[in-house]
Structure 1
Amino acid sequence: MERRRVLILIEGQTVNGLLYVRAAQRLGLHPITLSADPARYDYISAERLHAICVDTNNLDALIHECSRLGAIDGIAGITGALDSVYGIVSKLCRHFNLPGPNPVSIERCYDKFAQRELLARAGIPVPFFRMATSAAEVESSAAEIGLPVILKPFMGSGSSGVRLCRDVEELAEHTAYLLGGKHLWRSSPRILVEEFAQGPFYGAEMMGNEVIGIGAADFGPPPHFVFREWTLPAVLTDDEHERIADLSLSCLRALDLGWGPANIEFRWTKCGPVVIEVNPRLGGAPDPQLIRLAYGVDLITEHIKLVIGEKCDLRRKHSHTAAARMLVPDHDGILDWIGGVTRATAVPGIAEVKMYIKPETPIVRKGDDRDYIGHVIAASPNPGRTGEMLQRAVNVIEWSITPFPRSSSCG
């Protein structure tokens, strides 16, 4: 029997996971997902995909499983779509001598304090920052920087645990949350206290040392940072685009990145562009979808090509405007029903309407990307037309959430 060319996917991802699977299949690969809990990804059972249960935090266990699979089939490459596994993915690639990012650079980049120090040392503009491990250190760091400040865990993604603290009460409240056992830490608690860089938000999508696209985003209301809308390309002057592109490449050099995808976040302040964060992996949904609709470049497919040692094609096929609206509930409770999805999908120019959850699901907002219940994506050659179509589709989607019953006590 002919040996298959296997692509190992470490864990999956709610939206982009299936896109990786399908892209791998189109490239003639057999995708196998290694996950601590394959059942958490609905598409694996729905599509009857090959998945194996293994502790994905245990490098030795992963090496053993990959070695076993490699003895049966040929492993063409190893990758993953989640922040939390990309460090271990890089170590697996190095162990099996497969194409992949530098493990040292990836680990260093995921430590937000270490990343900030490297960027600042290279002369790259970043918000003023301090590291704190106690409430007293948080308080003194905030006093030194000046309120408002942002508190965030030194590791993590999706804005989990990130909050704007506008006064001493909010500062004390969020410090107590982060240090009081409610936030899940993967190591000893360390908090990044940083200046609140104010201004429009932009994100650069990179592949290798090439800027593929620069998008603009809006957030929901503070104190959290939950993305509400993405538009690509961002409306920028030639000079603004060049400054962000040059700064993006400087970030890669400072962090010793440059292999594969990266996603770099900026705020354009009164002093110009300031780097908020460098993510050494592909941007999460809907970033790859927007790049494909705007430019005809499939970053997921091109990433897999790099992973298996092939040359990727990043040439733009066209130039459109693509935009996405994230659907976010305004209160907690039980999701009763969702309506209007079929009508929204039928709106001209709508590329995708996707709901992440089903009726009868409990809604408990976290103030991060776990709050999303779906998204709508539109694209057209005209920026204004894209925005109009997106709003038209969003307007016909409805849902009902019954609030949780309030606990009562009798005196």
Structure 2
Amino acid sequence: MTKRALILVEGHRGLGLPYVKTAQRLGLHPITLSADPTQYDYLLAEGIEAIRIDTDNLDALIHECARVSATYAISGITGFSGADDSACVTAAELCRHFDLPGPNPASIERCCDKFTQRELLAKAGVQIPAYRLAWNATDVERAASEIGLPVVLKPAVGSGSSGVQLCRNFDELDEHTAYLFGGKHIWRSLPRILVEEFVQGPQYGAEIMGNEVVGIAPADFGPPPHFVFHGVSFPAPLTDEEHKRIADLSLICLRALDLGWGPTNVEFRWTTRGPVVIEVNPRIPGTPTPQLVQLAYGIDLVAEHIKLIIGEEWDLRRRHSHTVAARFLVPDRDGILETINGDRAATVEGIVEVKLYAEPMRPIVRKGDYRDPIGHVIAVSPSFAQTETILQDAVDLIDWSIKPFPTASE
């Protein structure tokens, strides 16, 4: 009998390993197509088949998938988000070419362009921040003046808060505009900046599979001007009415963007005017969100997504209800990571995981985005307050220190 394969377009430093492990558990042979497979450590460590190929070249990918199909029965294709979510669009195009289950590639592409997404949401009457599209520094300054400071500058295409910054005055605005347009930011598309109203209020994220809201989580950011996640938890401490408003608005977003196949993450700010949609992402968020959902509700988002990809029946029923939270370890300075040890934190009752991404003597250079955390801690308990106490007790027991980079005279 021909073995079934799951094709993964590119990998992911957090979600990659859970996907290949889950695929294997479901009887699939995972194959990663990547422009540089060596950037994903788990491929070599787990002996996962990987093929080096230009993942921006759709014709080359079609040819390679056709070649793979001579050996394996390709059961499904999916892609991971990268700097611009292009792999998600490419995977959807491959699914359509090979008549496999998958989302509408045009819908995914429109959603990944933040300006186009804003236009579609606004047309549907969804509350969103005031926004303008800027092609140059003059456009940025004009947009900021029209919207009113402070504003958020973000690349029109991108993910993981890369290049996203709050600008509280015109000096910060000019500085970050120069950074984005001056060649330091890596663009995977035409250089365009979205200038947005800074909407203030608690942040929430709705995790959706298909047309079902699986869970809603509050999220905490570190200090401005960047938007680096410091913590996330399930479930959100919302009233039934607040939960319903967010869930209903999430489904309106799906209809406005022609989504509703597979996973979607909708980010909100709760304001005096109710929930305001900050962003819609047509994918599962990075780790540890899927793990938190499984701990909170017993729903394995990765497994259910793969079942959908390969055309099998999925199951989003909740098995239990726990309060679970993650705290990220985010450096507050650049330098050399002298020590880091989480052994004592792992012994705290209620701690599920202490995971460190960095080893001692590694240089720490903060980027102000998803790359900044050097680890996370996960706790679970019957209540939100107890979970937060457990987390704090564990984080206080993590030994880590950063020493300044040596100066030229040293």
Measure how far apart 1:199 and its partner are.
Answer: 0.3
Structure 1's unaligned 5+ residue stretches are: none
Aligned equivalent of 1:26: 25
Aligned equivalent of 2:107: 105
Q: Is the 8 A contact 1:81 1:282 kept in 2?
A: no
Q: Is the 8 A contact 2:262 2:308 kept in 1?
A: yes
Aligned equivalent of 1:139: 141
1:354-401 Cα shifts (integer Å, max 9, x gaps): 111222322110000111111111112222221111111111112222
Aligned equivalent of 2:318: 316
1:37 aligned onto 2:39: no
- Cα distance in 1 between the residues matched to 2:359 and 2:64: 34
- Cα distance in 1 between the residues matched to 2:362 and 2:43: 20
Measure how far apart 1:35 and its partner are.
Answer: 1.3
Deviates more, 1:10-19 or 1:123-132: 10-19
Aligned equivalent of 1:14: 13
Aligned equivalent of 2:224: 222
2:31 match: secondary structure:
strand
For residues 159-198 of structure 1, the aligned pairs below 5 Å read: 159-198=161-200
Give the percent of matched residue pairs that are identical in Structure 1 and Structure 2.
67
For residues 273-292 of structure 1, the aligned pairs below 5 Å read: 273-292=275-294
Amino acid in the other structure paired with 1:23: T
Measure how far apart 1:68 and its partner are.
Answer: 0.8
For residues 11-410 of structure 1, the aligned pairs below 5 Å read: 11-82=10-81, 83-339=85-341, 341-407=342-408
Measure how far apart 1:184 and its partner are.
Answer: 0.6
- Cα distance in 1 between the residues matched to 2:409 and 2:155: 35
Measure how far apart 1:49 and its partner are.
Answer: 1.6
1:336-365 Cα shifts (integer Å, max 9, x gaps): 2211x2222222211111111222322110
- Cα distance in 2 between the residues matched to 1:223 and 1:36: 33
Q: Is the 8 A contact 2:207 2:266 kept in 1?
A: yes
Q: Is the 8 A contact 1:10 1:89 kept in 2?
A: yes
- Cα distance in 2 between the residues matched to 1:144 and 1:88: 37
- Cα distance in 2 between the residues matched to 1:375 and 1:220: 14
1:95-132 Cα shifts (integer Å, max 9, x gaps): 11111110000000011000000000000000000000
Q: Is the 8 A contact 2:157 2:189 kept in 1?
A: no
Distance of aligned partners of 1:194 and 1:282 in 2 relative to their CA distance in 1, 3 Å threshold: same
Q: Is the 8 A contact 1:334 1:362 kept in 2?
A: yes
Deviates more, 1:57-66 or 1:163-172: 57-66
2:200 match: secondary structure:
coil
Deviates more, 1:272-281 or 1:385-394: 385-394
Q: Is the 8 A contact 2:296 2:320 kept in 1?
A: yes
Amino acid in the other structure paired with 2:41: D
The TM-score with structure 1 as length reference comes to 0.97
TM-align CA RMSD: 1.2
Amino acid in the other structure paired with 2:26: L
Amino acid in the other structure paired with 1:263: N
How many residue pairs were aligned?
407
Measure how far apart 1:187 and its partner are.
Answer: 2.0
2:311 match: secondary structure:
coil
1:161-202 Cα shifts (integer Å, max 9, x gaps): 000000010011111111111111112210000100100000
- Cα distance in 1 between the residues matched to 2:94 and 2:229: 32
Deviates more, 1:296-305 or 1:36-45: 36-45
Q: Is the 8 A contact 1:84 1:156 kept in 2?
A: no
Amino acid in the other structure paired with 1:164: L
Amino acid in the other structure paired with 1:228: H
1:59-111 Cα shifts (integer Å, max 9, x gaps): 11211111111111101111123234101111111111111110000000011
- Cα distance in 2 between the residues matched to 1:56 and 1:153: 22
1:214-262 Cα shifts (integer Å, max 9, x gaps): 0001100000000101011110011100000000000000000000000
